[in-house]
Structure 1
Amino acid sequence: MFNPFTLVGFHTLVSFAAILAGIVVVLRVTAGSLPALWTEVFLATAVITSATGFLFPFSHVLPSHIVGAIALVVLAATLLAQYVFHFVGPWRAIYAIGLVASLYLLLFVLIAQAFMKIEVLHRLAPTQSEAPFAIAQVLLIAVMLWVGMRALRAFHPGGWVARP
């Protein structure tokens, strides 16, 4: 049973919150606006999700640690773009790419976890090297590349000015 008061429960709950907020933010950015509160929720929960992933016991570096480290680097650049450089020059593109990349990494992990934990998916790809898992990840990459291009176009220099 799900318990939000355990590390796993908290991490899972925050991860879903980050994904929901990230979808709202990225869709709004592609439409030409930046919702301040949703963006702050997304960035905060994405950082918490990535950071809490390192609190689970481990004896060696796992793929999840690599994804978490990449996510934290991307989030650091995204936060710098917004709060330090205020979207000036290349930081607008870095910000748009960072938002989309952060959401992509959360969704990448969601798909991997779904194939590990949901029995019907696990039977389709028990080692995550089978075609159903690859197809799901390729579709995710394709969608996120398309969304990323739209976000870059909508958030280009000279375009709308977002609130920091």
Structure 2
Amino acid sequence: MMFGLSLAAFTDLHTVISLVAIAAGLIFFGALAFGGRWLWAANMLFLAFTILTSATGFLFPLVGVTPAVIFGVISLILLALSLYALFAVRLAGRWRIVYLATALIAQWLNMVVLVVQSFQKVPALHALAPTGAEPAVLVAQGIMLVLVAFAAWRTLWRARGVAA
């Protein structure tokens, strides 16, 4: 039991938090990359829920140092730097790029986990890749990486002239 929830209910809550974080990140970075608009509400939702998803990940029973633990630590370090850039120095000068780069990497980490978890939990995808090491997983990760890299390039390119 975690916070009065069964492990299954806590897992469902963590999943919903993660999906909200990913969706808010897609909205924020999509608006910035393709419309040149800085959506503060989507940005704040992305930050809050990305921090929550990383933090709640550490509340599951620990079975050693796993990729999930490493991703969580890296994500929280990136998000701490993002928060500093956003709130302490208010995106001044190069801190805007630091903010966007660290937030984009945190979004990418969320999406890597989404792809991995999708192949583990969605029956149709799991049938394609029962061990998670099949070409289908690598192709999905590769496509996702290319899309995120393109959006990151657009975001960072546009951010040079967009007021927050």
Normalising to structure 2: TM-score of the pair? 0.90
Match of 1:69 in 2: 73
Residues 17 and 49 in structure 2, CA contact (< 8 A), matched pair in contact too: yes
CA-CA distance at 1:6 after TM superposition: 2.5
Match of 1:126 among 113, 126, 130: 130
Residues 28 and 34 in structure 1, CA contact (< 8 A), matched pair in contact too: yes
Residues 26 and 99 in structure 1, CA contact (< 8 A), matched pair in contact too: no
Which amino acid in structure 1 is aligned with residue 133 of structure 2? S
Say which is worse superposed, 94-103 or 39-48, in terms of deviation.
94-103
Match of 1:24 in 2: 27
CA-CA distance at 1:45 after TM superposition: 0.4
Match of 1:12 in 2: 15
Residues 29 and 154 in structure 1, CA contact (< 8 A), matched pair in contact too: yes
Task: In structure 1, list runs of 5 or more residues that go unmatched.
Answer: none
Alignment of structure 1 residues 1-164 onto 2, 5 Å: 6-30=9-33, 31-156=35-160, 159-162=161-164
Which amino acid in structure 1 is aligned with residue 13 of structure 2? F
Superposition misfits of 4+ residues, deviation over 2 angstroms: none
User: In the aligned structure 1, how far is the partner of 2:23 from the partner of 2:159?
Assistant: 21
Residues 100 and 147 in structure 1, CA contact (< 8 A), matched pair in contact too: no
Which amino acid in structure 1 is aligned with residue 88 of structure 2? V
Which amino acid in structure 2 is aligned with residue 122 of structure 1? H
CA-CA distance at 1:98 after TM superposition: 2.1
Secondary structure in 1 matching 2:83: helix
Task: In structure 2, list runs of 5 or more residues that go unmatched.
Answer: 1-5
Calculate the aligned-residue CA RMSD, in Å: 1.5
CA-CA distance at 1:54 after TM superposition: 0.6
Residues 36 and 158 in structure 2, CA contact (< 8 A), matched pair in contact too: yes
Deviations 1:97-132 (A, max 9, x none): 123212211111111001001122112112211100
Residues 24 and 38 in structure 1, CA contact (< 8 A), matched pair in contact too: yes
How many correspondences in the alignment? Answer: 157
User: In the aligned structure 2, how far is the partner of 1:123 from the partner of 1:9?
Assistant: 22
User: In the aligned structure 2, how far is the partner of 1:57 from the partner of 1:160?
Assistant: 43
Percent of pairs with identical residues = 34
